[in-house]
A and B are shown apart, each in its own frame.
Chain A
Amino acid sequence: MSGRPRTRIGLGQGLLFLAFLLALGLIAAILYENFFAAG
C-alpha cells in the first residue's frame, strides 16, 4: 500500500472545523467594527 494518505474527516470534525471558520469570521467582524464601523 502506498500513495498519499487520505485526508477524510468525520462529520464531527467537519462541523468543528466549520465552527472554527465561523469563529474566525466573527473575529474579523469584531475587528472591522472596532476600526471602521465604530469610527
Chain B
Amino acid sequence: MVAALAAALWVGRSGAAPDLTPSIREIFPPAVSFEEQGEVTSVFDDDGRLLGWAATGSAAGYGGPMLVVVGVDPSGTVVGGRVVEHRDTPMFFQLARPDEFFRSVAGTPFGEVDYDYDTVVGVTGATRSSEAVVASARAAIAKVAGDRFDVHYPAPRRSFEFGLLELVTLVLLVVGFAVHRNGGPLRRYLRWACQLTGLLVIGFWYNSPVSLAKLTAILSGYFPSIYTHLAFYTMLVGFLVTSLLYRRNIYCLYMCPFGAAQRCIGVIGGLNLALPGWAVRFLDGARNVLVFAAIFAALITLQPALASYEPFAAMFALTGSTWQWLLLFLVLVTSLLVRTPWCRFLCPMRSFEIVLRNIGQGVRKNGAAS
C-alpha cells in the first residue's frame, strides 16, 4: 500500500514543469519570441521589439502552492498577470478571483501597485488563497524590478501569525492532553467545554478542521508554512502524537468541530444503536478503500486539495456541492440514532488513526519484548 502511494507520488512529481509561454502570450498578445535571462524572461514582438519582461512568483495557498507570472513593460508599468499553476482547493481558488486582481493592477507602475486585496478585489472569503495571489505577484514583480530597474525590495519579513485560532488550538491541545491523561471527576465537563470551543472557533469562526486534503498535502511533500499555519500544526501534533500513544487521539476527542457537532445532535437523539460486527468491518473496509483511492488519485495528479470529501465547508462555511450537502444531511440525521457516526465509520482521520495506533502498539510490544 505504501509502495503504491510512493509510486503514485513519483508519477505525479515526474510530470513536466509548467509551460509559461501561453500565459506570457496572454499578457503580451503580440509576443512572438522569448529570451530567458536568469529569473526574468524578455518578451519580443514580430519585429524583435522589446515588449517587456515576465517573471514568476510562488506562494502557498489554502491547499497548496500557487505559481503566477507577471508582465512589466519597459516603462515599468505592470501589464498583467496570470496564475500558471495552482494546487489550491478549487472552491477557494475561485473565490479569490485572481483574474480580477491582475486586471485591477494592470496599468499601474510597479512601485505603486496596491497589494491590499480587500481594497483591490473586495472581500473574497478565501483569505489564504488571496494572500497567495498577492505574495506570488509581489515576488514576481520584485524580480523584474530588481533585475531590470535596479529597484530592490526587501523580502517580506516573516513572523508567526498568532491570533484567536492559534491560541484556542494550543489551549485545547494542552487541556485535552491533561484531561485525557489524568481523568478526574471533571473530565466529562472539560471535554464538553473543549469540544464546544472547538465547534465555535475551529469550526464556525475559522472553518479550519484538519482535513484529508491537508494530510495528503503533507504526504505529497508540501508542508504549509509554520508561520501562517501554526494552528494546523498544533492540531496535527494533537492527532499524530496521541494516536501513537493512546487508543484515541486528542484532536478527535477534544478539538474536532465536526465531532462536537455530531455529539450535540446525539444529545437530542439520545440513541446509540449498535451495528453487528460484520457491518462495522464492512464499513471500515469500504472507508479504507475510499481513503486510499482518494490519496492515490491526489498524489498521482499532484492535487492534494481534491482528496477531501468531508462536508466541512457545507457545515461551517455554508457552501458545497449537492453531494456534500446530502452527505452532511445524512450524517446529521444518523447522529440522532448513533453516536458520532462520521467519526466512527466515515472520517478519513479514522483510517489514519488506526494505522498510527497499530504502529504505536507494535513499537511498544517490540520494546517490551526486547
Complex contact A19–B273 (CB within 8 A): no
Taking CB atoms, residues of chain A closer than 8 Å to B337 are: 12, 16
Complex contact A16–B273 (CB within 8 A): yes
Complex contact B290–A28 (CB within 8 A): yes
Whether B279 sits at the interface, judged by CB under 8 Å, is: yes
Complex contact A16–B338 (CB within 8 A): yes
**What is the CB-to-nearest-CB distance from B317 to chain A, in angstroms, rounded to a whole number?**
16
In chain B between 289 and 307, which residues have their CB closer than 8 angstroms to a CB of chain A? 290, 293-294, 297, 301, 303, 306-307
In chain A between 1 and 39, which residues have their CB closer than 8 angstroms to a CB of chain B? 7, 9, 12-13, 16-17, 19-20, 22-24, 26-31, 33-35, 38
Whether B155 sits at the interface, judged by CB under 8 Å, is: no
Taking CB atoms, residues of chain B closer than 8 Å to A17 are: 275, 279, 283
Complex contact B274–A13 (CB within 8 A): yes
Taking CB atoms, residues of chain A closer than 8 Å to B297 are: 31, 35
With A and B bound together, what is the CA distance between A38 and B338 in angstroms?
33
In chain B between 31 and 75, which residues have their CB closer than 8 angstroms to a CB of chain A? none
* With A23-B330, A30-B309, A33-B323 already in contact, 13 other A-B pairs whose C-beta atoms are closer than 8 Å: A13-B276, A20-B279, A20-B283, A20-B334, A24-B283, A24-B290, A26-B327, A27-B290, A27-B309, A30-B321, A31-B290, A33-B321, A35-B297
Taking CB atoms, residues of chain B closer than 8 Å to A22 are: 330
Taking CB atoms, residues of chain A closer than 8 Å to B229 are: none
Chain B at the A interface: SS class = helix
With A and B bound together, what is the CA distance between A38 and B306 in angstroms?
10
Complex contact A31–B293 (CB within 8 A): yes
Closest A-chain residue to B331, C-beta based? Answer: A23
- Which of A9, A26, A35 is most buried by chain B, counting CB atoms within 10 A of its CB? A26
Question: Which residues of B does A touch, CB under 8 Å?
Answer: 90, 273-276, 278-279, 283, 286-287, 290, 293-294, 297, 301, 303, 306-309, 321, 323-324, 326-327, 330-331, 333-334, 337-338, 341, 345-346
Complex contact A7–B278 (CB within 8 A): yes
With A and B bound together, what is the CA distance between A30 and B294 in angstroms?
10
Query: What 6 A-B pairs have minimum CB-CB distances, sorted nearest first?
Result: A34-B306, A26-B327, A30-B309, A29-B323, A30-B323, A27-B309
**What is the CB-to-nearest-CB distance from A28 to chain B, in angstroms, rounded to a whole number?**
6
With A and B bound together, what is the CA distance between A33 and B311 in angstroms?
14
With A and B bound together, what is the CA distance between A38 and B273 in angstroms?
37
Find A24's partner among B276, B308, B346 (CB 8 Å cutoff): B346
Taking CB atoms, residues of chain A closer than 8 Å to B274 are: 13
Known interface pairs A7-B278, A16-B338, A35-B301. Does A23 touch B327 (Cβ–Cβ under 8 Å)? Answer: yes
Complex contact B276–A9 (CB within 8 A): yes
Complex contact A12–B346 (CB within 8 A): no
Find A27's partner among B276, B303, B338, B346 (CB 8 Å cutoff): B346
With A and B bound together, what is the CA distance between A23 and B310 in angstroms?
11
Complex contact A27–B327 (CB within 8 A): yes
With A and B bound together, what is the CA distance between A19 and B334 in angstroms?
8
**What is the CB-to-nearest-CB distance from B202 to chain A, in angstroms, rounded to a whole number?**
22
Closest B-chain residue to A27, C-beta based? Answer: B309
Closest A-chain residue to B287, C-beta based? Answer: A24
Complex contact B294–A31 (CB within 8 A): yes
Taking CB atoms, residues of chain B closer than 8 Å to A12 are: 273, 337
Complex contact B321–A20 (CB within 8 A): no
**What is the CB-to-nearest-CB distance from A34 to chain B, in angstroms, rounded to a whole number?**
4
With A and B bound together, what is the CA distance between A3 and B276 in angstroms?
18
Taking CB atoms, residues of chain A closer than 8 Å to B294 are: 31
**What is the CB-to-nearest-CB distance from B48 to chain A, in angstroms, rounded to a whole number?**
38
- Enumerate 22 A-B pairs (CB-CB under 8 Å) in ascending A order: A7-B276, A9-B276, A9-B279, A12-B273, A12-B337, A13-B273, A16-B273, A16-B338, A17-B283, A19-B334, A20-B279, A23-B327, A24-B346, A26-B326, A27-B327, A27-B346, A30-B309, A31-B307, A34-B308, A35-B297, A35-B303, A38-B306
